[in-house]
């Protein structure tokens, strides 16, 4: 089945091309950022930001991906300066209008996001980093590896919404959705194995603090903004009205791609996949074995990701380790626990409906 869904894929966002671009001539200056940050050298960071900020006519000459790359590079300096306690915009004349314009041109917020900092950030010697620590590269690897898989997963979610549960294409689509979401399990295992909670809490977390632009505070490029909630909405969350999760989701959605942002409204009021299959299988689950097994596997991947993720998040936000009470996406450990609980409840529903594997008595 050809799945390229024009509602979800926006060819203007060419990550590989953006990663290769250096529209501000920032490769050299940004390589020095880790040393400036290590020395808390706000003066050098601010001077670099002043030098790199383009004029509005320069921005007008950028193409779409150059606008994304320019935002990525200005963003590294915004987060760095704020990390040392200084709001960057008052220090750099003309920067605010440039950020607003770059946001407008790309239909994104007026600062960098997790997409800029990871997917559109080159690997190797040109990689833009706050700290230069190899653990930072591992952390960036989480969104880098999971966002493209999530994109594939969301295309399957869209196709599933348009496919009758009795259609022979339904169960294979659900299996493919599971294959793509399983990437989250691997990604978090890698981070847990190679990033210490102390490094995240004390070295990285401060760079994701909010920066004031155009009268609002905008959170930094945190993994918490990877829009996994869109898969939740399609799978189970459109049936639930958890106010804390909804508020988190609304805020996070601002930080993602315009085509994905639009899905929140579309998917919020549709019956979820869990509900559709529960209703289909209630009278007699027997004909729905393949569907229910696939659904159980998808839900289990989400539970495994969230269980491992909560484990490391708890360690990073322990009172004696943390510098901040709230996460970089503005949420709390309590929020993560409640999202995990809701995901688990739905995984339990899927498991109860799924046929017992061979060798297991029902």
Among the listed ranges 59-67, 71-79, 87-95, 304-312, the one in contact with ligand HEM (CB under 6 A) is 304-312
Tell me which residues in 211-230 interact with ligand HEM (CB under 6 A): 222-224, 226, 228-229
When asked if residue 331 is in the footprint of ligand HEM (CB under 6 A), the reply is yes
When asked if residue 182 is in the footprint of ligand HEM (CB under 6 A), the reply is no
Q: How far is the CB of 311 from ligand HEM (least distance, A)?
A: 10
Q: Under rule CB under 6 A, how many of the chain's residues touch ligand HEM?
A: 32
When asked if residue 312 is in the footprint of ligand HEM (CB under 6 A), the reply is yes
Q: How far is the CB of 326 from ligand HEM (least distance, A)?
A: 6
When asked if residue 231 is in the footprint of ligand HEM (CB under 6 A), the reply is no
Which one, 222 or 292, has the nearer CB to ligand HEM? 222
If you ran DSSP here, which 8-state letter would residue 32 be given?
A: T
- Nearest by Cα to 167 from 266, 277, 275: 277
Output the DSSP codes for 148-195.
Answer: HHHHHHHHHHHHHHTS-TTSTTHHHHHHHHHHHHTHHHHHHHHHHHHS
Tell me which residues in 101-140 interact with ligand HEM (CB under 6 A): 139
Tokens of 33: 């950022």
Q: Which of 53, 80, 121, 146: binder of ligand HEM (CB under 6 A)?
A: 146
CA distance 74 to 76: 6
When asked if residue 255 is in the footprint of ligand HEM (CB under 6 A), the reply is no
When asked if residue 335 is in the footprint of ligand HEM (CB under 6 A), the reply is yes
Among the listed ranges 31-39, 53-61, 275-283, 313-321, the one in contact with ligand HEM (CB under 6 A) is 313-321
**Which residue lies nearest ligand HEM, judged by its C-beta?**
327
Query: Exposed, middle or buried by CB within 10 Å (0-12, 13-18, 19+), for 123?
Result: exposed
When asked if residue 8 is in the footprint of ligand HEM (CB under 6 A), the reply is no
Strand partners, 164: none
Q: Which of 109, 191, 213, 299: binder of ligand HEM (CB under 6 A)?
A: 191
CA distance 308 to 304: 6
CA distance 69 to 75: 10
Q: Within 13 Å and on the Cβ side, how many CA atoms surround 331? A: 25
Tokens of 85: 């306690």
Strand partners, 213: 216
* Residue 108: other Cβ atoms inside 10 A: 23
When asked if residue 336 is in the footprint of ligand HEM (CB under 6 A), the reply is yes
When asked if residue 306 is in the footprint of ligand HEM (CB under 6 A), the reply is yes
Tokens of 111: 């600062």
Q: Which residues bind ligand HEM (CB under 6 A)?
A: 139, 142-143, 146, 187-188, 191, 195, 197, 200, 222-224, 226, 228-229, 306, 309, 312-313, 316-317, 326-331, 333, 335-336, 339
């Amino acid at each position: 089945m050809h799945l390229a869904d024009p509602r979800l894929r926006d060819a203007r966002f060419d990550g590989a091309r953006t990663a290769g671009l250096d529209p501000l001539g920032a490769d050299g200056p940004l390589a020095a950022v880790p040393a400036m940050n290590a020395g808390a050298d706000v003066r050098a960071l601010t001077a670099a930001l002043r030098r790199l900020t383009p004029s509005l006519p320069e921005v007008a000459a950028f193409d779409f991906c150059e606008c994304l790359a320019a935002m990525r590079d200005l963003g590294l300096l915004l987060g760095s300066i704020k990390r040392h306690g200084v709001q960057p915009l008052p220090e750099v004349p003309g920067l605010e209008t440039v950020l607003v314009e770059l946001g407008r041109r790309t239909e994104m917020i007026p600062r960098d996001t997790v997409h800029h900092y990871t997917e559109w950030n080159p690997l190797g010697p040109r990689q833009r980093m706050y700290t230069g620590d190899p653990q930072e590269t591992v952390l960036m690897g989480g969104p880098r590896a999971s966002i493209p898989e999530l994109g594939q997963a969301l295309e399957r979610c869209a196709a599933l919404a348009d496919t009758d549960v009795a259609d022979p294409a339904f169960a294979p689509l659900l299996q493919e959705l599971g294959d793509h979401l399983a990437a989250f399990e691997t990604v978090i295992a890698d981070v847990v194995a190679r990033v210490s909670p102390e490094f995240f809490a004390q070295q990285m977390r401060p760079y994701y603090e909010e920066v004031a632009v155009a009268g609002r505070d905008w959170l930094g490029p945190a993994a918490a903004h990877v829009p996994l909630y869109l898969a939740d909405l399609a799978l189970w969350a459109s049936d639930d009205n958890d106010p804390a999760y909804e508020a988190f989701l609304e805020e996070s959605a601002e930080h993602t791609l315009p085509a994905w942002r639009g899905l929140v409204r579309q998917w919020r009021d549709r019956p979820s996949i869990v509900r559709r299959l529960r209703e289909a299988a209630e009278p007699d689950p027997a004909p729905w074995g393949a569907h229910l097994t696939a659904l159980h596997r998808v839900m289990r991947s989400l539970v495994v990701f969230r269980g491992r993720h909560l484990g490391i998040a708890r360690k990073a936000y322990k009172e004696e380790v943390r510098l901040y009470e709230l996460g970089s996406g503005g949420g709390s450990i309590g929020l993560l626990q409640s999202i995990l609980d809701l995901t688990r409840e739905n995984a339990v529903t899927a498991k109860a409906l799924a046929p017992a594997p061979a060798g297991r008595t029902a």
